Structure formats: structure tokens, C-alpha cells
Amino acid sequence: MINDPSPFLSFGQLEDLSRSILRHRGLSPDHVEAVTRTIVAGERDGCASHGAYRLIVCAATLATGKVVADAEPMATSLTPALTRVDARGGYAQLAFERGLPLLIEKTRACGIGAMAISNCVHFAALWPEIEAIVAQGLVALACTPSHAWVAPAGGTRPLFGTNPIAFGWPRPGPWPFVFDFATSAVARGEIELHRRAGKPIPEGWGVDTNGEPTTDPAAAMAGAMLTFGGHKGSALSAMIELIAGPLIGDMTSAESLAADDGAGSSPIGGELIIAIDPAGFLGDATATHLQRAEALFSGITGQGARLPSQRRFEARERSLERGGVTLPKALYADLLALLD
Amino acid sequence: MINDPSPFLSFGQLEDLSRSILRHRGLSPDHVEAVTRTIVAGERDGCASHGAYRLIVCAATLATGKVVADAEPMATSLTPALTRVDARGGYAQLAFERGLPLLIEKTRACGIGAMAISNCVHFAALWPEIEAIVAQGLVALACTPSHAWVAPAGGTRPLFGTNPIAFGWPRPGPWPFVFDFATSAVARGEIELHRRAGKPIPEGWGVDTNGEPTTDPAAAMAGAMLTFGGHKGSALSAMIELIAGPLIGDMTSAESLAADDGAGSSPIGGELIIAIDPAGFLGDATATHLQRAEALFSGITGQGARLPSQRRFEARERSLERGGVTLPKALYADLLALLD
């Protein structure tokens, strides 16, 4: 199968390819399964940068030794509503899966719960985790720092990470309401793509090493990226540094970049997840009020606007109908090369 | 004192003036005290739009009968971590004060807690509440819908409120880290000021009734305001509608505007407050990690960028040194007229 030149892979084939690569690169079996689930989910949803391509990133990070390939995450109950999972230097996915039952149990018991994943390596989007929590009928919010590439509003030097924030809300039907976005103006990869294509970047994406606005992608990558939404986005980014950094005893983006020490591996650090049980506030009236939320969604789509993740869910629907995904030939060749 | 034409009022004089106006307009004694505290705090901090000027707004809302002037808020424990305060149609301030002890007690016991204020009338900023929680050494997040004046990204018609979100983090020294901003591009009053001055508004603030971008303030007020930060700000605004609306059994901004029914009073609805106890995650290491957060703040100010609320705290410092505030003469005259 893997040698089949056809770029269409069934989900089973993509899973097998991911497993083969990750095993070959030394990742322990439980991590292989957890990482494979997010890789396949990303590719299925048309998120090229968080799909099969990420196997290349994983292989590179594994080669640097900056991720503990056989880490056994340890979940601990801290308080009636708080859970900590020490990922012990491994990938975040398995740590999340190991902590999820405690998070859900505590959230149902207390009405709200939070889980800190500490000491983990990040490379995935947050929405797979959000969707796993929302599938239990809970509302979820998650965020994580990354590497210090982004200047605060009014500043000139990198301090914040691209610091994604994600949110999910349960809906009737197959797709929840989910958003997941970086608090940087754009993804770092977007600036890199402009650099490769020799195209200028729009104003507002970055500043040069003197802190001056620039449309030169190389100058912005050497200087600093900017947050989305000016001082408001910058304030949110600072909040993420704090609540998914010092609040849980983990690194800020500046500390994570320092720990990377030029290795160019995925960001290390923590993640904070907050879950809320609508039944805690609403009791028997939960279904009634969740139905009222549907009026808000209709109010968005009814005027021709998109819901966040709508494109992703449409891609998922197409992939599920086809039973798999088509990989770009060059990517497929690069993936096969990881098996050597 | 009140008849003294001098525009400088000591804090005691401003409190007395606020009490006199609010009593004269029929607000019950406990509400008078709670509202006065936020009015004085706003004026002290140089927030003209949330200071003494708001007494005019209060008087107008009281005159419409849209606020219950003698509402007795009722705080209820819902779960080990959740509190609800039914404001019973009164102003949010007293409801917040009545619920605060429960929120703090539960947050300390569970590590995280949330309080829903339901069925209340809003006119104040969120930062006074955030600061009251942070003063207890807790981290706090709050948000509330308002009136449907803002279109979702890609849309053309008002659906969201200006939906503020506020956050606070305890710091050594007198001032915490606090932000409090509307998820609309600007405050509605800002557009109104441009209209009065006959000045065009920048692009990105609003669309006309056809959903076309406009720089005409009157056209934007008739059409729809826009969120800050494009689709990201729009996603956050939707989140606020959900978690401070249906999640707590309260109104969305569209429902609040409908309930107002053209009276032009302050938004009615709910507010969600989440508090986290750093000690829940950090235990004995709390002080150490809170100190690490200070490095982030130094990283911001050390490159010449401002912390959110910095200007407000500077204004507070000046007011505290002077022991009071200077009111614009015209405003002072308008306030005195409210005593007639």
C-alpha cells in the first residue's frame, strides 16, 4: 500500500503510514497511536499544515532529542476541579488523553474544571482536544504559549508566542461550534511562504529588527511578528502566556524558545484547558437554552457569514464520503523517505 | 459642597453627589452604595465614559423603568464550583457584591470557580469586578453580551453586542495586570463622537445598511458596527454571546435589544465570571511562579510597550494624590440638574 504511487490513501492506509513512520523514528506505541489520531484528523479536515505534513516535523523534533519518545504521562487530581497531567517531556496528545477522563469527571461534579498539561511538546492544533471535550456535551476553552516570535503591541522585540486559543460549544447534529486561532496576525508559516515566493507581506504582520513596520517577509522573521487586532490581541496573547505558563508552573514562550536553544524543535511547555458543564448552570433547562444558542448560529449563517471551522467541517464531510484523503505527490514521497 | 462651582470634588464629595442623585432618582440604598463605588472608581481612574457621566445614563435608565430600582439580588450555590446570582432586574453591581464571597470561597475550595450573574442591567466596565477578585489573589476572567449592534465577520447585519471581555492577574505592588476591552472595533460612543464632530470614521469600524464598508458614522450606526480583529474578534464575540448568554440561561445581545424595545436603556442580561486560584495548581510554589510572571511584564515594559490599564492606573495614582477629581463644568452642571 505504502509503495502505491496513487496519492489517494484510505484512512486506514494513512493511519498505517503514520504509525510506520513514527515507530521507525522511535516513538513509543501509545504515543504513536495518539499522535496518529491527530495527524489523520488534521489531514481529514483539510488542514494541510496540521495533517500528514506534521510527520516531517515530528521526525525532525524526534531527531533533536527534544521530545521524550517514550514518556509516560502522569495525571494527578489536584483539587475537586483541577487536574494536572505531567507529560514528562513527551508529546501533548497522549498526556491529554490520559487526563481527559479526570477532567470530564471533575467538570461534571463541580460544574467547571480545568486541566493543566505540563512539560509537554506541542505541534498539533487545539481543536482535536476541544472536540473531544465537546463530544461529552461540555463547553471547552484551551490555550497554549509557543515560541517567542511575536512583539507586544507598541513593542519592537519578540516576547509572545503565536499563542493559539480555541473554544468549543456542543450543538445538535454532527458539527459543534469550534474556533481555534493563533493570536499572532498570521501563522509564522504564512510569512515563510511569502518569503519563498518573493512576495511582500501586508502591513500589520511584522516589524523589522528596529521595530519599524515592514512588508519584507525576511525582515519580519528576523524582527518580530505582530499580534492580530492591535493592543486587544496583544492583551489576549499576554493572558495566554500567563494562564498557560506561570499559572500552571510552566514556561512562557520566551522560556520555551530559550530551552529550544536553537534546535528548531516544536515548542515545549504547558497548556491550560477549561471545561464547563452547561447542566451545572442550567439543570433541567439545558436542552432549552442550548436550543437558544442555535438562534445565534442561524443569525450568523442566515446573513451569509461563515461559522468558524465551517470550511474544516466541509472538508471532513468530503473526506468521510471518500473514505480517505489525497496527499500531494511530493509530500507523499517525503513521507515515504522518512521510512528509510 | 454640591453647590460649589469649583470643578474639583474630593472623593467624599463625589460619593455624596452620586448618592444624592441616585437616591433622588429612586434607587434603593444598597444599590446606591454599590453603583456609587463603581462611578467613583471610574472617575478616579480617568475613565470619563464610566465615571460620573454614567449617572446621567443611570437616571435615564431608571426613568424608563427598565431597571428594578429596589431589586434584592439572590445568590445561590449551584454546584461545588458554580454560583448564580439572580439580580432580579436590578443593576449588576450589587448582585456581584452579594455573590462575590461565594465565588471566592468556592474558587479556593475547588481551584476554579464560576459565577453567573443573571437578569441584571449593565452599564459599568468589568474591571472593577475583576480587580475585586484579583485583590483576593485570584486570577479572573469576565464577559458579558450587550445590545446587538455588531455584525459577525463576513456578515452585514447587527447580531453581536460590543461584548466586553476582561481579565486580571495578581501582582506584587499596588497595580494588578488587568485588561478590559470591547470585542467591537471601537466603542459605540466613539462612532457617535465622530458623527457629532462631522468627521469620517476609519474603515473597519462599520458597514452601512447594505453591508458595504463605510466611513460615514451615521451610516455605520444605522447599519452595523464591526468586531476588532476580523474573523478572530468575531469568533471571540460569538463565544461571549454563548457563555454569558445561553450557557447561564440568559439573553443574547439580540434578545437584550429586543427586550429593550426601543427604550434606549442599558443592556439587560447576564455576565459570566471565572476565577482561578493559582495555589490550586501551584501549591507552595505559587509565589515563585507569580514572580516568573513579572519577567513577562518586564519584557513588555522593558521594550517601551505599555501594559493594559497602565494609563488608568497612572490616572488613579494622580487622583489618589489629589484626594479627588476634577469634573468638566458642563458635566457638573448636568449632574446638579439631576437633583431637580
Q: What is the pLDDT of residues A5-15, one digit of tens each?
A: 568 999 999 99
Q: What is the mean pLDDT of chain B?
A: 94
Q: How confident is the model at residue B31 (pLDDT cuts 50, 70, 90)?
A: very high
Query: Exposure pattern of A56-89 as b/e (b: 16+ CB <10 Å)?
Result: ebbbbbbeeebbbbebebebeebbbbbbbbbbee
B293, part of any domain? no
Is B274 in contact with A274 (Cβ distance < 8 A)?
Answer: yes
- How distant is the Cα of A303 from the closest Cα of chain B, in angstroms? 6
Rounded to an integer, the average pLDDT of B272-276 is: 98
> What does the pLDDT read at residue A123?
82
Which element (helix H / strand E) includes A105?
helix A92-110
Model pLDDT for residues B159-180, shown as the tens digit of each residue: 999 999 999 999 999 899 999 9
Q: How far is CA A334 from the centre of its chain?
A: 23
Are residue B238 and residue B269 in the same domain, yes or no? yes
- Residues B44, B83, single domain; the answer is no
Does the structure show a pLDDT above 70 at B5? no
Tell me how far apart the 2 most distant CA atoms of chain B are, in Å. Answer: 58
The alpha-carbon gap from B231 to the nearest alpha carbon of chain A, in Å, equals 8
Closest residue in B to A308 (Cα–Cα) = B235
Set B50, B122, B147, B194: catalytic member = B50
Which residues of chain B does A278 touch, with a Cβ-Cβ cutoff of 8 Å?
247
- Please indicate, yes or no, whether residues B164 and B245 belong to a single structural domain of this protein: yes
Q: Is residue A138 part of a domain?
A: yes
| Tens digits of residue pLDDT in B209-241 | 998 999 999 999 999 999 999 999 999 999 999
Put simply, the answer to whether B81 touches A81 (Cβ < 8 Å) is yes
A215 is a domain residue? no
* B1 is a domain residue: no
Residue A293 and residue B232: Cβ atoms within 8 Å? no
User: Could you list the active site residues of A?
Assistant: 49-50, 190
Predicted local distance difference test score (pLDDT) of residue B202 = 94
Contact A155, A227 (CB under 8 A): no
pLDDT given for residue A3 in this prediction: 52
The enclosing domain of A23 has a CATH number of 1.10.1530.10
Give me the residues paired with residue A326 across strands: A8
Distances from the Cα of A44 to the Cαs of A10, A21, A150, A322, B175, in angstroms? 10, 18, 30, 10, 48
Please list, residue by residue across A274-297, b when 16 or more beta carbons sit within 10 angstroms of its beta carbon and e when fewer do: bbbbbbbbbeeebeebbebbeebe
Count of CB contacts below 8 A, A vs B? 230
Neighbouring-strand partners of residue B8:
B326
Q: Looking at the domain assignment, is residue A296 inside a domain? A: no
Residue A299 domain-assigned? no
Residues B326 and B255 in one domain: no
According to DSSP, the residues that pair with A91 across neighbouring strands are A121
Q: Are residues A59 and A78 in the same domain?
A: no
**CA separation, residue B194 to residues B158, B160, B161, B188 (Å):** 20, 22, 20, 10
Nearest one of B288, B282, B114 to A78, comparing CA atoms: B282
Residue in the structure block whose three cell numbers are 492606573: B313
**Residue B166: CATH number of its domain:** 3.30.1370.60
Average confidence (pLDDT) over B283-312? 96
pLDDT at residue B134 greater than cutoff 90? yes
Strand B150-151 versus strand B224-226 pairing type: parallel
Place of cell 504515543: A31
Domain count, chain A: 2
Nearest CA in chain A to B82: A111
Rounded mean pLDDT, B263-278: 90
User: Is residue A184 a contact partner of residue A163, using CB atoms and an 8 Å limit?
Assistant: yes
Query: In Å, how far from its chain's centre is CA A115?
Result: 16
Tell me the backbone φ, ψ of residue A131, rounded to 5 degrees: -65, -35
Q: What is the ipTM of this complex?
A: 0.96
Q: Which of B6, B10, B49, B298 is catalytic?
A: B49
DSSP designation for A124 = S
Residues of A in contact with B238 (CB under 8 A): 177, 179, 296, 300, 308
Give the confidence band of B4 by pLDDT, cuts at 50, 70, 90.
Answer: low
Q: What is the pLDDT of residue B152?
A: 97
Residue A220 lies in a domain: no
Which of A263, A283, A303 finishes a domain? A283
Adjacent-strand bridge partners of B21 = none
Q: How far apart are CA A25 and CA A54, in angstroms?
A: 13
pLDDT at B3 over 60: no
The dihedral sign for the CA sequence B157, B160, B161, B162: negative
A80 CA to chain B: closest CA distance, Å? 5
**pLDDT per residue over A232-247, tens digit each?**
999 999 999 999 999 9
Residue B6: predicted pLDDT: 60
Q: Which runs of E-coded beta strand occur in chain B?
A: 8-10, 74-77, 82-86, 112-121, 139-143, 150-151, 164-169, 177-182, 206-207, 224-226, 268-276, 324-326
**pLDDT confidence bin for A49, thresholds 50/70/90:** confident
User: Of B6-10, B16-20, B111-115, which gets the smallest average pLDDT?
Assistant: B6-10
Kindly state the percentage of chain A with pLDDT values over 70. 98
- Residue A122 or B277, more confident: B277
Q: Which residue has the cell 528548531?
A: A264
In whole angstroms, how far apart are CA B303 and each of A95, A108, B300? 36, 44, 6
Q: Check residue A121 and give its pLDDT.
A: 92
Least confident of A1-15, A96-110, B73-87, B125-139: A1-15
Q: Do A263 and A171 share a structural domain?
A: yes
Percent of chain A that is helix, strand, coil (3-state, to 5): 45, 20, 35
Do A96 and A152 belong to one domain? Answer: yes
Mark whether B240 and B158 lie in a shared domain. yes
| Predicted confidence (pLDDT) per residue in A204-214, tens digit | 999 999 989 99
Interchain contact, B82 vs A231, CB within 8 Å: no
pLDDT score at A200:
96
**Which of B151, B281, B305 is facing A249, going by the closest CB pair?**
B281
What mean pLDDT do residues B51-70 have?
93
Q: What's the average model confidence in pLDDT over B101-114?
A: 98
- The pLDDT, as a whole number, for residue A4 is 53
Q: Is the residue at A317 inside a domain?
A: yes
Please give the average per-residue pLDDT across A271-283, as a whole number.
98
Please answer yes or no on whether A285 and B159 come within 8 Å at the CB atom.
no
One domain for residues A161 and A234: yes
Chain B residues whose CB is inside 8 A of the A293 CB are 242, 245-246
Of A265, A283, A301, which residue constitutes the final position of a domain?
Answer: A283
A54 and A87 inside one domain: no
**A125 in the same domain as A13:** no
- Using CA of residue B121, residue B124, residue B127, residue B131, what is the dihedral sign? negative
Cell of B262: 426601543
Residue reference for cell 439587560: B268
Average pLDDT, chain A: 94
- A234 and A331 belong to one structural domain: no
Residue A137: pLDDT over 70: yes
| Residue that wins the pLDDT comparison between B188 and A295 | A295
Q: How confident is the model at residue A249 (pLDDT cuts 50, 70, 90)?
A: very high
The residue range of the domain holding A277 is 74-184+227-283
**Section A31-41 average pLDDT:** 97
For chain A, the farthest-separated pair of C-alpha atoms sits apart, in whole angstroms, at 58
| Mean pLDDT score, B289-299 | 96
CA distance A184 to A228: 5
pLDDT band, very low/low/confident/very high, at B306 (cuts 50, 70, 90): very high
Tell me the DSSP string of A51-98.
Answer: TTTHHHHHHHHHHHT-S-TT---EEEE-SSSEEEEE-TTSBHHHHHHH
